[in-house]
Structure 1
Amino acid sequence: MFRSEDTRHSFTDHLYKALVQAGISTFRDNDEIDRGQDLKPEIEKAITESRAYQRRNFNNFVLPVFYQVDPLDVRNQQQSFAIETKDGAECSIWTKDNVSTWKASLTEVADLSGLVLFSGSETDFIAKVVDTIDCTLDWKLVSTLAHLIGIETRGESITSWLNDEQPSENFLANCGMGGGGKTTLAQHVYNSNKHKFELSSFLQDIGRDHRQPHDLLGLQKQLLTDIIRGKNIRVSNVSEGTSKIEETLQTRKVLIILDDIVENDELAALLGKKGVHTQSKIIITTRRLDIYAWFGSILLEFYNLVNH
């Protein structure tokens, strides 16, 4: 939620746009609120309905952003944050009880782990705020079955490979016949490890969804949305989509799961041929056992469910 007259058309506006583009629902009040007056009902509603509302009541989180503000001033209520009781008819809300409550709230906020910007790039700072919120809320967990016995053990070797920052290969193929649990294992591995990467994407049932050229274009747009963090990805054809994917994969540390690859053209369209960031990891599930031939000179780790 945003409310600031001083930064409404600068920092706050830029941060709001970045959050929305990242797919994070964000409320911004566009009307003035008199200083010292109670929050409007619509703002109260937005706060209580947000996923970050009241960490102590719902085990969620609050992220203070100190923009051109010293947290010490907030904690100690000094400088522009100094508040005291006031007398007079126009100062009826500045009672001892209210001021004590406000001071306690400021102290609590300042004691939270937040982000501070005094100088430096606002663009980089905004990206850090968005990344922090996105990672904490963990929007992109994929649905998995509950109470899967032995799933952690089955995924140990894959997790070890994901944790290796200097692997001999960036690709892992999970091959096996249908019904063997390839997708379920991939879902578990993804949920357990996505936080270790800058960006992540899970494309499920590719073989089922890829029927026409426009279906492949749709998969590209979904992948680009995940690894670029944009809501309005403009791609007019598969060739253009592959070019954008290649450019992004070379510069960002990403985790990508391509589930149920059936044809070579699916890999070519979704990964390109220019390689990936040295710390990126790509996991492919497929029923095809000849997948080695598709990759040419690219090293490929082979994980066979039959042996696990």
Structure 2
Amino acid sequence: MDQPSLARYPAYYDVFLSFRGEDVRNNFVDHLYNALQRRNIYTFKDDEKLETGVSISPALNKAIEESSIAVVVFSKHYADSTWCLEELAKIVECMKGKGQIVVPIVYGVDPLTVWEQKDSFKEAFDRHEERFENEREKVKKWKEVLAEVANLPHHILENGNEANFIEKIVEDIIAKLDTKSSSDEPHLIGINPRIQELDSLIDLGSSDVRFVGIYGMSGIGKTAIARAVYDKIWSKFEGSCFIHDIKSQLFSKVHLVDLQKILLSEILSTKDLQINNTFDGTMTIKQRMRCKKVLIILDDVDHMDQLECLARNDDWFGAGSRIIVTTTKQQLLNSHKVSCMRYYEMRVLDEGESSQLFRQYAFKKYPPTKNTKEFEGLETQIIRYAGGIPLTLINLGSFLYGRGIDEWGSEVDRLKETKKVAFWCIN
């Protein structure tokens, strides 16, 4: 059975785990959950040990709805639990209605028992039919959704090597999550050729520890391209972290030690870190990451001490690590004395790209049907004044959306008078 595309499904969790607690909670599922956490895959696992009642809780319903992928572990007594069957019904609802991906796993039970609903599964449904004698449609629905999910591409433990089995499952999940690349978002005009240029600098095939600096003026799209690169390659690393807008965070009284904690907790998948000062933080980063292949994005760095505290030297990180730094200050990158720094200067959008981006925000789906030529003439002037700066084009387009031709003309007059668009570019 074909499943809907994941790319259109907004989610909070990467993975929701559905399982029969008494069968697998303290063994297989714990091992799978820990393996997902180590790869920075944000996973929901219900830790309530008592499954009471027939209907699942609103919190579980919400967690299922907010997950990109549902992993269903069919174990020997999965069908015994009305709780699990209700979860499964909700998962199928999200698969059909929201594009959720479902990954079935058959563990500790003959696959035919699941597919044909025989033996322990038949016995479970016989008991449900007796218990819900007056709600036959409920049991019928449970049988149908189980058959539907069992028919999807699945994983079966065949050779008894559980560690390898779990690794294959994790890699499959990562491959599915990779379809969620932010470069598919419609507003990221012109980003693909720039990503291709960055790919050669990042060079994933090289085993050295490599720093890549992305520099350029405010509003030119440094963060957007860094985010797109991160979403494209994060799964190739043992740990990854994207620290957004460092300059603004520090201006808002967030301390460097807090950013060190974020970096460590994201990559090590732990929250119990005791770091009292930046010196302790730098030592911990070096000690805990020097054998780990990591991807780190440090976004909008504006002082050397930020690099010194978060990514000072090559020997802080394991072979193959990549540290990408975005900044408005090329000199800051030049001053960071690491053995392998590559530089990428962001360039402005060309006229065609500028027009495409501006129109997304100024017209949305529907360009004006009246005064079309007048709008197009004013658009040409606005694009010229914007100078190919993405944030300027977005802000101007958003401001002019839904406004009449006179207001467009007034804005063009204002731009002519000032002969600059710094007002529209947020630093």
TM-score normalised to structure 1 length: 0.74
Once residues 80 and 183 of structure 1 are traced to their aligned partners in structure 2, the CA distance between those partners, rounded to angstroms, is 53
2:335 matches 1:305: no
Measured against aligned partners, the alpha-carbon deviations of 1:14-48 in whole angstroms (never above 9, x if no partner) come to 666887896534434443448xxx44555873575
2:299 matches 1:283: no
Counterpart residue number, 1:157 = 197
2:271 matches 1:231: yes
Counterpart residue number, 1:31 = 50
Offset, 1:164: 3.1
Offset, 1:270: 0.9
Once residues 15 and 169 of structure 1 are traced to their aligned partners in structure 2, the CA distance between those partners, rounded to angstroms, is 29
Once residues 36 and 208 of structure 2 are traced to their aligned partners in structure 1, the CA distance between those partners, rounded to angstroms, is 36
Counterpart residue number, 1:75 = 115
Counterpart residue number, 2:285 = 245
Offset, 1:218: 0.7
Once residues 204 and 34 of structure 2 are traced to their aligned partners in structure 1, the CA distance between those partners, rounded to angstroms, is 35
Once residues 168 and 7 of structure 1 are traced to their aligned partners in structure 2, the CA distance between those partners, rounded to angstroms, is 41
Instruction: Indicate how the Cα distance of structure 1 residues 144 and 247 shifts in structure 2: closer, same or farther if over 3 A, else same.
Output: farther
Q: Secondary structure at the match of 1:68?
A: coil
Offset, 1:173: 0.9
Instruction: Indicate how the Cα distance of structure 1 residues 179 and 251 shifts in structure 2: closer, same or farther if over 3 A, else same.
Output: same
CA contact (8 A) 1:173 1:303 kept: yes
Once residues 208 and 92 of structure 1 are traced to their aligned partners in structure 2, the CA distance between those partners, rounded to angstroms, is 58
Once residues 148 and 248 of structure 2 are traced to their aligned partners in structure 1, the CA distance between those partners, rounded to angstroms, is 51
Q: Give the length in aligned residue pairs.
A: 301
2:61 matches 1:45: yes
Once residues 335 and 125 of structure 2 are traced to their aligned partners in structure 1, the CA distance between those partners, rounded to angstroms, is 77
Measured against aligned partners, the alpha-carbon deviations of 1:110-152 in whole angstroms (never above 9, x if no partner) come to 3333444574456x866776776677567x9889985233222
Q: Which moved more, 1:206-215 or 1:65-74?
A: 206-215
- Which structure 1 segments of 5+ residues have no match? none
Once residues 144 and 219 of structure 1 are traced to their aligned partners in structure 2, the CA distance between those partners, rounded to angstroms, is 29
Offset, 1:8: 4.5
Which structure: greater helix fraction?
A: 2
Q: Secondary structure at the match of 2:271?
A: coil
Counterpart residue number, 1:295 = 337
Relative contact order, higher structure (CA 8 A, sep 6+)? 1
Offset, 1:172: 0.7
CA contact (8 A) 1:117 1:125 kept: yes
Offset, 1:235: 2.4
Offset, 1:107: 3.5
CA contact (8 A) 1:220 1:269 kept: yes
Q: Secondary structure at the match of 2:342?
A: strand
CA contact (8 A) 1:241 1:269 kept: yes
Once residues 208 and 33 of structure 2 are traced to their aligned partners in structure 1, the CA distance between those partners, rounded to angstroms, is 41
Aligned letter for 1:277?
G
CA contact (8 A) 1:84 1:99 kept: no
Counterpart residue number, 1:112 = 152
Q: Secondary structure at the match of 1:148?
A: coil
Counterpart residue number, 2:385 = none
Counterpart residue number, 1:216 = 256
Larger radius of gyration: 2
Q: Where in structure 2 are the equivalents of 1:95-244 lying within 5 Å?
A: 102-117=142-157, 119-120=160-161, 136=176, 147-162=187-202, 164-166=204-206, 170-210=210-250, 215-244=255-284
CA contact (8 A) 2:202 2:212 kept: no
Offset, 1:76: 3.1
Q: Secondary structure at the match of 1:172?
A: strand
Instruction: Indicate how the Cα distance of structure 1 residues 29 and 133 shifts in structure 2: closer, same or farther if over 3 A, else same.
Output: farther
Offset, 1:244: 2.9
CA contact (8 A) 1:159 1:193 kept: no
Offset, 1:205: 2.0
- Which structure 2 segments of 5+ residues have no match? 1-17, 71-90, 350-427
Q: Secondary structure at the match of 2:297?
A: strand
Instruction: Indicate how the Cα distance of structure 1 residues 79 and 280 shifts in structure 2: closer, same or farther if over 3 A, else same.
Output: farther
